[in-house]
Amino acid sequence: MIYSRILLIVGGGIAAYKACELVRLIRKAGMGVRCVVTEGGREFVTPMTLAALSENRVFTSLFDLTDETEMGHIQLSREVDLVVVCPATADLLAKMAAGIADDLATTLLLATDKPVLAVPAMNVRMWEHAATRRNVERLRGDGVVVMEPDEGEMACGEFGAGRLPEPEAILAEIHRHLPSTHSEPVEGRAEGPSLAKQVSATRQFARPLQSLPGKHIIVTAGPTYEPIDPVRYLANRSSGRQGFAIAEALAALGARVTLVAGPVSLHTPPGVTRVDVETAREMAEAVDAALPADAAILVAAVADWRAEAAPAKIKKGDRGPPALALVENPDILASLAASPQRPALLVGFAAETCDVIAHARAKLARKGCDWIVANDVSGDVMGGDANTVHLVSAEGVESWEEQPKIVVARKLADRIARALMARAARP
């Protein structure tokens, strides 16, 4: 099985405790992780905690001769897919920018030939200091990815930019910067065959990055808002994250992606053309305008009904609560399936709270699409980072274990690429 390996360098700051959660999420996403903790980092988290969470030996010292005979620092810095520095303190960033190598962490950072992602965390004044700004700029110029810290109240009591981003956001950034390898889940422990063997297996089986060039794919995502009057609307809890992740994964495979997005506060993924809409009818029009397409992946949680919107704000009167007259919205998926411009591959999503597979099978037949990706939304899936999905098609049902939405997106994008290639190969 192929999976990605992360080298995580834990710097010395109060945010180091969040590195423990990050290790847990990386393992849960099916990746292997090796940790290196700086001397400062060891004041905040113990190597034993990181070893237990990573299920791997933790490295602390450059001069540990046993490690040098078993695995030199050069090897340690190279036999991974991505190096992550979290938290990246002002001191670590300064050393990285200056090329100082005075401990194991900084030596690895100088020796590595792999992409480096730095996740800063520090006091707001330190983050805004001209020296740190200079260092960050220099590092970015050198090709290091430096995440923007979050804003908010800090451990020191001050307020501003400098907080470590949430571990889920860091994990998403890790997925974004992993090279063309696949982070498919592993059964059991991450250890096993030697690191060198795993990496060469990754290289050997790595599929070409661009398996969808020239293909146009429409993705819908997010909720729709259906106005009741100029200030009120009907909506649902869709966050849009799964649809955005799918758009991103398809674009990463070289597809031309049109993302028709309901009202969500998410960044447009790189290389994706985004059309913002609010209502179901606007979404239907935008999908229509984006045709023709080779595939359409309809992830949006479209409101089934709209209200007959009042032209002015409905006021509270003595006649009691107003009765909302609901009208059915167009079914974008079903219309697309029946259209003469039907894309070769049509995928719908089904968010269910019970009898997930049975409902998905019925929906597949009713809507006339090729696949239904069904998920159980009775938990906190709609706002959360992870998703457990079942791929339902005429061939049967395939259940995927719980994994981050970005991993679900990559796997689905891979399936879509293979399905389109298979269709193109048909006589």
Cβ pair 408, 389 in contact under 8 A: yes
| Set 35, 86, 156, 354: catalytic member | 156
Provide, rounded to whole angstroms, the least separation between the CB of residue 280 and ligand CTP. 5
Q: Tokens at residue 301, please?
A: 């949680």
Q: Which long-range contacts (CB under 8 A, 24 or more apart) does 371-379 make?
A: 371/345, 371/346, 371/347, 372/347, 372/348, 373/299, 373/347, 373/348, 373/349, 373/412, 374/349, 374/350, 375/349, 375/350, 375/351, 376/352, 377/351, 377/352, 377/353, 378/353, 378/354
| CB closer to ligand CTP out of 27 and 367 | 367
Which residues fall within 8 angstroms of residue 338, CB to CB, at 6 or more apart?
368
Provide, rounded to whole angstroms, the least separation between the CB of residue 73 and ligand CTP. 50
CA contacts within 13 A on the Cβ side of 364: 20
Interacting residue ranges for ligand CTP, rule: CB under 6 A: 220, 280, 298, 300, 302, 304, 329, 331-333, 348-351, 363, 367
Which residue matches tokens 């269709």? 423
3-state class (DSSP) for residue 34: strand
3-state class (DSSP) for residue 172: helix
Which residues are paired to 276 by β-bridges? 261
| CB closer to ligand CTP out of 50 and 302 | 302
Neighbours of 63 (CB within 10 A): 8
| CB closer to ligand CTP out of 182 and 363 | 363
Provide, rounded to whole angstroms, the least separation between the CB of residue 415 and ligand CTP. 16
CA dihedral 99, 100, 106, 110 (to 10 degrees): 30
43-62 burial code (b ≥16 CB/10 A, e <16): ebbebebbeebbebebbbeb
Provide, rounded to whole angstroms, the least separation between the CB of residue 242 and ligand CTP. 11
Provide, rounded to whole angstroms, the least separation between the CB of residue 388 and ligand CTP. 16
Q: Tokens at residue 184, please?
A: 């498919």
Alpha helices (H) in 206-323, listed in sequence order: 241-252, 280-290
How many whole angstroms separate alpha carbon 152 and alpha carbon 77?
A: 33
Question: Is 20 noted as a catalytic residue in this protein?
Answer: no
| CB closer to ligand CTP out of 71 and 397 | 397
**Of 5, 17, 77, 90, which Cα lies nearest the Cα of 50?**
17
**Of 171, 127, 172, which Cα lies nearest the Cα of 149?**
127
| CB closer to ligand CTP out of 194 and 341 | 341
| CB closer to ligand CTP out of 167 and 262 | 262
| CB closer to ligand CTP out of 107 and 238 | 238
Provide, rounded to whole angstroms, the least separation between the CB of residue 271 and ligand CTP. 23
Provide, rounded to whole angstroms, the least separation between the CB of residue 359 and ligand CTP. 6
Cβ pair 23, 55 in contact under 8 A: no
Residues classed as catalytic: 156
